[in-house]
Structures are given as C-alpha cells and as structure tokens.
Amino acid sequence: MESKGIIELNAKDMLYQLCRKWRTLLICALCGIILMAGLSWTRPIVIMGESSGKTLDSNFDQLAQLKEKLSGRELNEVRMTVESYLTFRRLLLYNGERSDDSILLKLNPHMMPSLSRSYAISNYETGNDYPTDGKDICDNIAEIYKREIRSSRVVEDIRHALNDSINAASIQEILNVTKDAKSIVSIRVYGTDREQCETIMSVIDKYFDDITKKAQSIYSFDIALINDLFEETENTDLYEAQQDQANNTANIQRNLMALPDKLVEGQKTYYDTAVSAAEELLSDGTMSEAAVLELLFHPEDYKSEADSGEAKNAEVQALRVIRPKYLVVGAFLALFLAAAWILFRYIVSTKLKNKDEVRWVLGSNVLGVVKADSLSGKKKPLQAVDEAIDKLFLSENDRLEPDKSIELICNEAYWWAVKNNASRILVTGSFSDSVTEEIKRRICSALNALSESKGMGQADRKPVEAFMSESVIRSVDAKEKYTEADSVIFVERVNGSHFNDIGEEIELYKRHDIAIIGTVVVS
C-alpha cells in the first residue's frame, strides 16, 4: 500500500480516547481504593495511653517534622542506623540477662567450688558387637551420662531443689561429665558453695541407677565409685569465659556509642529522637522491634489517646483503621496504570484511530462520521457524560444524530455520482459487525430513495443504484459484486478496521479503475 504520509500522534485525540474510557478508569480507581484500603487495614495505628507521658507525643511530633526535612536517602541511612541500634540493644540485653541468670559466670574462677564423683569402668568390651563411632567405649559411656544428666527431667528437679527462678540453660552449664584417665568417668557439678554442690549431686543420685541401666543396655560394663571429692580450685576456662562475656558487652556498648558518628546533624537529631521513643515503646515488652521500627519511620501513624481512669497504667493498642491517604494513593496509582495501558494500546494499535488517518495517510475523502453509540437508540448509564465529552472534543458535524449524518453523507455521494456519471455504487468495508452492516444498509436505502426522488422527470440522467457487500478481501462472493460497480463507498469503524486492510481495499479498487467516492467513519 502506498500511503500519502506518516500520521503523527494527536494529543487531543489521545486525551479524547482517555476521557471516553472514563467508566473503565472509574472502575480501576475503585479497585485501587479497595486494594489500598485492605493494605491500610493490615497496618494498624499504634495508640498509646496517657501514662506514656507527653514525652512520646513530643518525640513523634518532632519525628514527623524532621521527616519532612530529610531526603529519602538520608532517611534510609537513619533507618539502617536505628536497625543496628535495635540489634545491638537486643544483644546487650541478652548478655546482661545471661550474666544475671548464669550461676557459672558468677563463680570465682580462682576458688571455684566443685563436687565430683569418679567411677571406674571395667570389664567392657571393645569388639565390633558394640557401636563405638570411632571412639573408645569409655568415651561413649561418658557421653551417655552427660546427655542424661543434662536432660530436662534432671534439670527441672535441680531447679526445684535450688530456686525455681533459675533457668534451665544456667543449670546445664554447671553439670559436666568427663572421662579421666583411661577408664574413669567423673560426674562434676559446680556451685556457689559446698551446700549447693551437694544439693545438686543429691538430685543426680536419684537418677544415677536408671542412667547406668540405660548405658549398660547399650554397652556391657561394670561401674564402681572410687572417689567423692569437694574442692575449691582455680579454673582458667571459667576465667576466659567471664573475660569473653565482659569483652562482648564492652564491644556492643562501643558499637552502640559509635553508631550515629557517620550521620549529619539533621540525621543525628532524628536518630536520637527515634532511639528515645524506641526505648519507651519497648520498655513494657508489648511491641516487637519490627513494629516499633515501622512506627518510628511512619510517625504520622502514631496517635496518642488518653485512657480514662487508667492514666497510670498505659497500654499499647493497635487500632485498625482505613486511612484516607491510602485511598487517595490507591485511586491515583490505579488511574495512572489504567491510563498508561489505554494510551499504550492506542499508540501500538494497528486499527483505525480516527477519521484523520483516512484522510492523511490513506488519501481518501471522508464523507462523514456516524456515531455508533446512538445508532441503536439505547442510552448507556450517564450518557450525558459521554455527550459532554463529545461536545468538548468533537466538531458539530461529528456529533450529529446517525440519521442526519447519513442523510448528509448520501447527498454528497449522490451528487458526486451524478457529476461523474457513476450509476452503480458499492457500499462495503474491511470490518463487519452489526453496527457497520446496519449503517451500510441505511446508506444504500437512502441513496436509492434519493435517486428515485431526484431522477423523476429527468430522462437524460442515469439512475443511481446503491448496493452493499462484504469486504472483497475477505469474501469470494464479494468479488463478483465489486465487478458490477463503477464507484465505491467504504464504511470503516474506529478501533475495529485494521489500517492495512483498508489500504489493501483502496489499492484493489484503484487497480480496477473503480472510483472511490469516500469513506464513512463509524466512531
């Protein structure tokens, strides 16, 4: 197809196409609002009671003001620093709790009280009948005693015997079983004094026989007590463990102190305020670190509310609400994506977009535009909106009622036929649906009626006959009809007729010297 030129994208027509899709855009906006409302519901607003004091209110007011002054990059740097602070804070608390709870770490490594009982293992076999895992049988026997003595049932009894507030991990640290010499297994317990050591050992004694039977069911051996010894000796391993604990705590504290060093002035202020608010929010243990972090960097979600009658006992509550800003963002985001998709389809479409493409690119005359929406007589909901959009973007001729538009089209086509001695007009088009077929039928009827009324009393004038057919490039039967015609009118639909099909039809009729009266554009 030889085109007359390259059409440029028409900004006005693109805007018109968007406005005509207002129903689609409205539905997309509603979907965006619904989705963002759901997201807002999943992110509760934290409500603090009055007893949190005015400090929290002041902190979050300050955070909201500071957030507006920081760029996205600066705010992200502060957030990473606060995340590091929360991590070091958690490690520091863990170290502190371990130091407070651990019996072992509180002992004096230079005079460490311990009570040990040594047992001689004899008459054991080392043959292949017993699983040794590559170890000496005495090593495996010692492992069995160690595992069983540190089991939950033994540890729980020791806790009750000492103090129920002591945790299980602290109890396990002071229980040990080793293999001494070649065939001696020693059970050793540590404590603050001899009395505590004997209390722990007395609990182990209750389980000793059961543990021995369990070990003898796996390995055949005899066991006999050879030594029962309480002593206070130096323990270098404990000294190193205490030093490591102290060094870890000091390192964490140094890291905490150095965190804000790389921040600039505005960032440091935000960091200090956020840390102060975090300490207060985490103090009662009702909020997770992740929830606190989100709140610190979305200070607009914070809401302080007095708890009547409970001013001294504040509670942290999560209030689920639908926030208007989420709805606005959802609507605009959905509108943007929908509009982008509509415009993308408009740009890449190979279908007829408007009447100008017929005139500028194909070089065909446009006889007129017929509005398909009002052809059936059925009005869409809020049809007045569509009419207002058409009035804003379309000329008066392009907004005519279908009957009036067809009347003008047929008058122009008739006088063209009279002037050019054309008597048989074929009405066809590359696209076919119920609307275009109805318009073709009406054009044929109007032309034939016009020919009869104009031709009366004019014997020298050839009567004009109009007839319709399917597209000649799509139907074999249509090829028989187009040979009978001396002129043709195309009826093509916007967003329906493919640009290349229209061009192919125009070329075909030109090649057979069939005059092209023009094109009727159905919009």
Predicted pLDDT at 185:
92
Predicted pLDDT at 144:
92
* Two structure tokens written together for 252: 């964490």
What is the rounded CA–CA span in Å between residue 242 and residue 236?
A: 10
pTM of the model: 0.44
Question: How is the chain split into domains, by residue range?
Answer: 45-96+246-319, 111-233, 355-522
pLDDT tens for each residue of 459-508: 455 678 888 888 877 776 666 677 788 888 889 888 888 878 888 888 88
Predicted pLDDT at 40:
73
User: DSSP character for 185?
Assistant: E
Q: How many CB atoms lie within 10 A of CB 521?
A: 24
- Domain 111-233 superfamily per CATH: EIF_2_alpha (3.30.70.1130)
In what side-by-side order are the strands of the sheet with 316-319? 303-304, 45-48, 316-319
Q: Hey, what CATH class is 355-522 in? A: alpha beta
In what side-by-side order are the strands of the sheet with 175-180? 175-180, 184-190, 112-122, 222-233
Residue 142 contacts residue 179 (beta carbons within 8 Å): yes
Q: How many CB atoms lie within 10 A of CB 467?
A: 16
- Identify any residues that bridge with 184 across adjacent strands, giving them in sequence order: 120, 180
Predicted pLDDT at 314:
45
Give the angle subtended at the CA of 308 by the CAs of 302 and 310, to the nearest 5°: 90
Residue 472 contacts residue 328 (beta carbons within 8 Å): no
- Identify any residues that bridge with 190 across adjacent strands, giving them in sequence order: 114
What is the rounded CA–CA span in Å between residue 206 and residue 413?
A: 115
Q: Which parts of the chain have pLDDT scores under 50?
A: 1-5, 49-53, 127-134, 306-314, 457, 459
435-439, Cβ contacts within 8 angstroms, sequence gap of 24 or more: 435/372, 435/375, 435/493, 435/522, 436/491, 436/492, 436/493, 436/496, 436/522, 438/375, 439/370, 439/375, 439/402, 439/406, 439/491, 439/520, 439/522
Predicted pLDDT at 130:
45
* Two structure tokens written together for 206: 């209750």
pLDDT tens for each residue of 373-402: 766 656 666 777 777 777 777 777 777 788
